[in-house]
A and B are shown apart, each in its own frame.
Chain A
Amino acid sequence: MFRLIESQMVVPNIHLLTLEAPAVARQMQPGQFVILRAEDGGERIPLSVSDWDPEKGTLTVIVKNVGSTTDRLASLEAGVSIPTVVGPLGNPTEIEKFGTVVCLGGCYGIGSIFPISRALKEKGNQVITVLEARSSYLLFWEKKLKEVSDRLVLITRDGTRGLRGHAGRLAEIVQSSPGPVDRIIINGCTFLLKKGSDASRLLGIKTIVSLNPIMIDGTGMCGVCRVTVGGTTRFACVHGPDFDGHQVDWAELLQRRKTYMREEVVPLRTSRCEEHAGRS
């Protein structure tokens, strides 16, 4: 069992959970993920890891409440334990001295881009971190990210902070950079990854995206996370999750992610009310 030591909603509908998982925390590297279950009988879901402390043996995930499992995670209180936290899974993000790197995080990806910006900065890169959200009230961890970046740029869909628009504005950010940008790394929802890759393709800058397809075991056994990259089928859990954003078949990924769209919320509708009724 893995004890939850911190649980808070950082902005509306986005939750931060810190868990005790010492064996996992000791090995964790930027870009890797864990699979967890919120309860016995629960679904296994993959989550990017946003921070960790190998000494304390803890790791932090940022979760957007979108389906039945994330809803249960969001409702957990500090002190309780969950049955599964397994990892670190996937390959770490490649961290080298590239020169200037733009790190773009949106939505829950604002969390998982943090350790990547931090590691790139430590390697001596010029790090431009870009945060994207629908509105200013959905931005978080600005201070934390500023500390590990040379420059922090904000984009909001409604223009209430920073640039108005979405990842498409990456082009201007790159062009306004004093020197050439050597690499772009994007974490967040599939839509953001695709938009960002579309924008950077025109700029001819290598772009790494962290893909987030459906997974079960996370060790290459089930094959549900298959994605087409450069015309070849790859398993995101063991070959990724990072891939070249200019090579990904986005239409296929978006379509595969929708497989259980209807079913994902069914347990929310069917079981929770009874549970609450039983409690009161």
Chain B
Amino acid sequence: MPEPQKKKLDLNRRPMPKQPPEVRRHNFDEVALGYPAEIAVEEARRCLQCKNSRCVSNCPVEIDIPGFIKCIAERDFAAGVRILKEKNCLPAMCGRVCPQEEQCEQTCVLVKKEGQIAIGRLERFLADWEAGQGEVEIPEIPPPTGRKVAIVGGGPAGLTVAGDLIKLGHQVTIYEALHETGGVLVYGIPEFRLPKAIVKREVEYLKKLGVQVVTDYVVGKTKTIDSILEEFDAVFVGTGAGLPWFMGIPGENLNGVYSANEYLTRMNLMKGFLFPRYHTPVKSHKRVAVVGGGNVAMDCARTALRLGAETRIIYRRSREELPARLEEIENAEEEGIVFDFLTLPIRYIGDEEGWVKEIECLKMKLGEPDSSGRRRPVPIEGSETILPMDAVICAIGNGPNPLIAATTPGLEVGKIGNIAIQEETGKTSREKIWAGGDVATGAATVIGAMGGGRKAARSIHEYLCSL
């Protein structure tokens, strides 16, 4: 007989402490506050430590999830960090922005019982715990192999490749077009969801491992891939989904109509929300509409709200079909974002000075499922309505950045202008060139890009060892 328990173990998933909505809608501080150590340990103790861990097989970077959770349960946080970092150089970021509900947590055996283990929150806990310790542990790097790899684009895919290859003893240089490294992590995801200090910390960690970072350098312009290959043994291209889509409806070039990329870049990379202390100008808007229903749309809407605008999301399908993470939808709803579902903008109307003042929309109903499996929205005739608005942010998606494909002869591209790769290896049609992340797959997730980077890194390593 096991000894009788003093207190019955609470089997429920532990909630994440958050800033209350009425407070956070007025600031840019992080919304989710992270587990305190006690709660993290309690949550970790719920893990059943399955032998055949289905969470691991559903993690794009194959983190030993039960392994690090066990360490938390045993309060050996340092050991947990080591396990985490074996597979993931960027845990503080993944813990925050990965869609765990579609990956590791989705296949947790507790999903139908007391609730799946909060794997993402535990990952974040360890990363933040380590940062709080001051000195970050640097793993031992094997002797230099003498092989050199160039990485084009300092986003999640590129950072992962850099982390993996530097730890194998290769020399790694990242070329970043912008003045800060991190790609979408710095220009796209807002401060209140992923504080930039955390991105900086993770990039600094890579630099400590020996990764060279060159910012303000546009490969394809400052230098072509082919001339980079004269100096390097291999190149990885991770230039992201940097080509904003517009709907092609009248009035899209009116003042006050932004692409999500522009709006977010102004706010995040350029710190527009701190204007005029930071010098990139931003307008102050009273009524903002965000068109689209993905995570980017939520980010735009919640940013506009924090700057004092009455903000709505206009989405052509219903709440069921919103592609954003449930957590982000709930956060947006709690903060007071209005959702206009089954609504499609058809025209932006400007004032005499060229500023948007109204949006004309059509009401939609859901018809038969389309190729994505979601029910296709069908316009309802005669349902035109006009909403007064002084800014519109178009968050309907991005295409792959065409710059590298256009300046690298012989590099095959796919249907949407993406760089064509072999999925398992990230190999492109050209020797010595690998690619991964959004530039290869089209716009997807941070962890998806990291997974692509991981596969490419493995293949690049094999190639470098064969030289």
A221 and B243 within 8 A (CB): yes
B217 and A217 within 8 A (CB): no
B276: interface (CB < 8 Å): yes
Size bin of chain B's contact surface: 35 or more
A263 and B270 within 8 A (CB): no
A221 and B217 within 8 A (CB): no
A7: interface (CB < 8 Å): no
B253 and A89 within 8 A (CB): no
Q: 0/1 per residue, B189-217, Cβ < 8 Å to A?
A: 00000000000000000000000000111
Query: Given B179, B223, B279, which contacts A69 in the complex, CB threshold below 8 Å?
Result: B279
Tell me which residues across on chain B come within 8 A of A233, comparing CB atoms: 246, 252-253
Q: 0/1 per residue, A79-120, Cβ < 8 Å to B?
A: 000011111110000000000000000000000000000000
B353 and A255 within 8 A (CB): yes
Greatest chain B CB density within 10 A among A42, A238, A252, A263 is at: A263
A216: interface (CB < 8 Å): yes
B222 nearest in chain A by CB position: A23
A220-B403 CB under 8 A given contacts A233-B253, A256-B253: yes
Bound together, the chains give a CA A59 to CA B216 distance in angstroms of 16
Stretch in B280-288, B338-346, B429-437 with 4+ CB within 8 Å of A:
B280-288
Bound together, the chains give a CA A69 to CA B280 distance in angstroms of 9
Q: 0/1 per residue, B239-282, Cβ < 8 Å to A?
A: 00011101000001101101101100110001100011111111
A258: interface (CB < 8 Å): yes
Tell me which residues across on chain A come within 8 A of B238, comparing CB atoms: none
Query: Given B255, B259, B266, B271, which contacts A41 in the complex, CB threshold below 8 Å?
Result: B271
Greatest chain A CB density within 10 A among B252, B271, B281 is at: B281
A263 and B177 within 8 A (CB): no
A238 and B403 within 8 A (CB): yes
A266 nearest in chain B by CB position: B276
Which B residues from 169 to 203 make CB contacts under 8 A with A? Answer: 177-179, 187
Bound together, the chains give a CA A78 to CA B252 distance in angstroms of 43
B279 and A43 within 8 A (CB): yes
Stretch in A48-56, A177-185, A223-231 with 4+ CB within 8 Å of B:
A223-231
Q: Is the interface of A mostly helix, strand, loop or mixed?
A: mixed
Tell me which residues across on chain B come within 8 A of A37, comparing CB atoms: 179
Bound together, the chains give a CA A220 to CA B239 distance in angstroms of 12
B282 and A86 within 8 A (CB): no
Bound together, the chains give a CA A263 to CA B255 distance in angstroms of 14
A220 and B262 within 8 A (CB): no
Bound together, the chains give a CA A90 to CA B242 distance in angstroms of 16
A228 and B253 within 8 A (CB): yes
Tell me which residues across on chain A come within 8 A of B266, comparing CB atoms: 216
Tell me which residues across on chain B come within 8 A of A86, comparing CB atoms: 177, 179, 216-218, 222
A222 and B261 within 8 A (CB): yes
Q: Is the interface of B mostly helix, strand, loop or mixed?
A: loop
B221: interface (CB < 8 Å): yes
A217 and B222 within 8 A (CB): no
- What is the minimal beta-carbon distance from B85 to any residue of chain A, in angstroms? 30
A266 and B252 within 8 A (CB): no
A223 and B271 within 8 A (CB): no
Size bin of chain A's contact surface: 35 or more
Tell me which residues across on chain A come within 8 A of B442, comparing CB atoms: none
B401 and A220 within 8 A (CB): yes
Tell me which residues across on chain A come within 8 A of B242, comparing CB atoms: 217, 219-221
Query: Given A24, A87, A221, A227, which contacts B261 in the complex, CB threshold below 8 Å?
Result: A221
Q: 0/1 per residue, B344-386, Cβ < 8 Å to A?
A: 0000000001100000000000000000000000000000000
A256-B216 CB under 8 A given contacts A43-B280, A216-B270, A264-B281: no
Greatest chain B CB density within 10 A among A222, A228, A260 is at: A222
B34: interface (CB < 8 Å): no
Tell me which residues across on chain A come within 8 A of B253, comparing CB atoms: 226-228, 233, 252, 256
Tell me which residues across on chain B come within 8 A of A259, comparing CB atoms: 255-256, 283
Which A residues from 227 to 243 make CB contacts under 8 A with B? Answer: 227-228, 233, 238
B120: interface (CB < 8 Å): no
- What is the minimal beta-carbon distance from A260 to any residue of chain B, in angstroms? 4
Tell me which residues across on chain A come within 8 A of B275, comparing CB atoms: 263, 266-267
B426: interface (CB < 8 Å): no
Q: 0/1 per residue, A58-88, Cβ < 8 Å to B?
A: 0000000000110000000000000111111
Bound together, the chains give a CA A221 to CA B264 distance in angstroms of 11
Bound together, the chains give a CA A238 to CA B239 distance in angstroms of 15
A264 nearest in chain B by CB position: B281
- What is the minimal beta-carbon distance from A92 to any residue of chain B, in angstroms? 11
Bound together, the chains give a CA A68 to CA B271 distance in angstroms of 16
B402: interface (CB < 8 Å): yes
A247: interface (CB < 8 Å): no
Bound together, the chains give a CA A85 to CA B276 distance in angstroms of 22
Bound together, the chains give a CA A263 to CA B271 distance in angstroms of 15
B276 and A270 within 8 A (CB): yes
Query: Given B216, B244, B278, B403, which contacts A84 in the complex, CB threshold below 8 Å?
Result: B216
Query: Given B261, B277, B282, which contacts A263 in the complex, CB threshold below 8 Å?
Result: B282
A217 and B177 within 8 A (CB): yes
Partner-A contacts on B (CB < 8 A) = 177-179, 187, 215-218, 221-223, 242-244, 246, 252-253, 255-256, 258-259, 261-262, 265-266, 270-271, 275-283, 353-354, 401-403
CB-defined A-B contacts under 8 Å, sample of 22 = A23-B217, A41-B278, A86-B179, A86-B222, A89-B221, A216-B262, A216-B280, A217-B187, A219-B242, A221-B401, A223-B246, A223-B261, A224-B262, A226-B253, A233-B246, A233-B253, A251-B354, A252-B354, A255-B353, A258-B354, A259-B283, A263-B282
- The 3 A-B pairs with the shortest beta carbon distances in the complex, nearest first, are A263-B281, A255-B354, A221-B242
Known pairs A86-B177, A226-B253, A251-B354 / 11 extra A-B pairs, C-beta < 8 Å: A68-B279, A83-B216, A84-B216, A89-B221, A216-B266, A217-B178, A217-B187, A219-B221, A255-B354, A256-B253, A266-B276
